[in-house]
Amino acid sequence: MHPVDSPQEAAFRAEARAFLEANAEPLPPWVVAPSAIVAEWTPDEEERKLDEARRWQRRKFDEGWAGIAWPRRYGGRGGTLIEQLIFSEEEAGFDVPSDALIIGTGWCGPAVLEHGTDEQRDRFLRPLLRGDEVWCQLFSEPAAGSDLAGLGTRAVRDGAQWRITGQKVWTTFAHRSDWGLLIARHDPDLPKHRGLTAFIVDMKAPGITARPLRQMTGSANFNEVFFDDVVVADAYRLGAVGDGWRVVISTFMWERLSLVYGSDRVLEALGALIAERGRATDPVVRDRYAAIYATGEALRFTGLRMMTAVSRGAMPGPEGSIVKLLATSMLEAAHTMALDLFDAVGTLAAEVAPWHGEWHAAFLGMPGLRIGGGTDQIQRNIIGERVLGLPSEPRPDRSVPWGQIPRGER
């Protein structure tokens, strides 16, 4: 029994573990990367990984283990958000290919569930949850990353449809996706947070071009995506006109919460590596590991606070930023310590390194995790202002219409 489980939650955890043990193998001891953002794949691996993820998602769907907290109407289990967290914690210990679909099932799906119409939920949620359709998230732009509200992709109303023009970047699996969750600017004359609207976009529509971006890890899972007068029906607008920032915030909440899953695995693997390298009695190593472990525990319990707030119908406050900052701090410290423990072996290429190159690949992927979903600096600003009560940074653009801000200051 987990130390914070109620009797009902303990029973659910046991049932979930029984399903996983009957249908999957335990995670190999050398697997340490906790998410698709870190554990990136080469182009040759993508198709195989995506096919494996679809098969696993369909098995969960068919046996009632997909969308634990989603309504049964959309193929979910109708359970609680705490049960969803429990299943994700247990699943993280098994060798199952869930990463390839996490953007749809973990981030975009909940956004459609929260903000979509009944028609949108009926059309999109079941095939998304079953793994039949792959989704991507079209938020960041070349000039709008940390300051996402400064995005410039335009959505112009044209009767019963919209015309989208602009560019997105760092879009995971855009070249493999069927649908995308897009945020665009519908009104440049409003303050920038208010002039945004969300859309569900067919990634095969005319005028969309996705170009994979190769990174230093050798992977090309990220893309730059171009929209050239792409037509989107108003029926595929997600939420009200001008509600785009609310969609962004709720999507980020689920994205940040997913960082909690698998953190225990990284800590266990790092402990095993310390023992393997014969450093378990080294006081400096022990002190360093203890600090990383404490950060991991803070991450886990802050994640539980987030989930508890959501389960009570409240929107978490700065807990999301705290989770994001704790996760990136812990993972960077863990992966850096691992390469330090390897000594000269840490300079090897990932494909010939010990532990199947997992520590090396995760270390190289960490910069992306610290940037995606809001940089560490942005999270510190939020925590400073909303938790510590520090004065906010000067932000004249908060009340100035987007179209009136000089281009060089946007």
Per-residue pLDDT of the chain (410 residues; tens, 9 = 90+): 466 778 898 999 999 999 999 999 998 877 775 544 444 677 778 888 889 999 999 999 999 999 999 999 999 999 988 888 889 888 988 888 877 898 999 899 999 999 999 999 999 999 999 999 999 999 999 988 777 888 999 999 999 999 999 999 989 899 999 999 999 999 999 988 899 999 999 999 999 999 988 876 677 788 999 999 999 999 999 999 999 999 998 888 777 766 666 677 788 889 999 999 999 999 999 999 999 999 999 988 888 787 777 667 666 677 778 888 898 899 899 999 999 999 888 888 777 888 888 888 788 777 777 777 778 888 888 888 888 888 877 665 555 565 666 555 44
Q: Are 395 and 405 in contact (CB under 8 A)?
A: no
Neighbours of 407 (CB within 10 A): 7
DSSP per-residue codes, 108-164: IHHHHHHH--HHHHHHHHHHHHHTSS-EEEE--BTTBSSSGGG---EEEEETTEEEE
Neighbours of 180 (CB within 10 A): 27
Nearest residue to 218 via CA among 9, 403, 45 = 45
Verify whether residue 255 is a known catalytic residue: yes
Residue 278's SS3 state is coil
Neighbours of 212 (CB within 10 A): 18
Biggest alpha carbon distance in the chain? 71
What DSSP designation does 28 have? P
Distances in whole angstroms, Cα of residue 345 to Cα of each of 102, 140, 274, 277, 338: 33, 36, 14, 12, 11
Q: Considering 83, 255, 319, 358, which one is annotated as catalytic?
A: 255
Domains assigned to the chain? 9-133 (1.10.540.10), 137-242 (2.40.110.10), 248-386 (1.20.140.10)
CA dist., res. 181 & res. 108, Å (int): 7
Q: Return the structure tokens found at 368.
A: 């992306």
Nearest residue to 360 via CA among 218, 173, 212 = 218
| 226 alpha-carbon distance from chain centroid | 22
What DSSP designation does 167 have? E
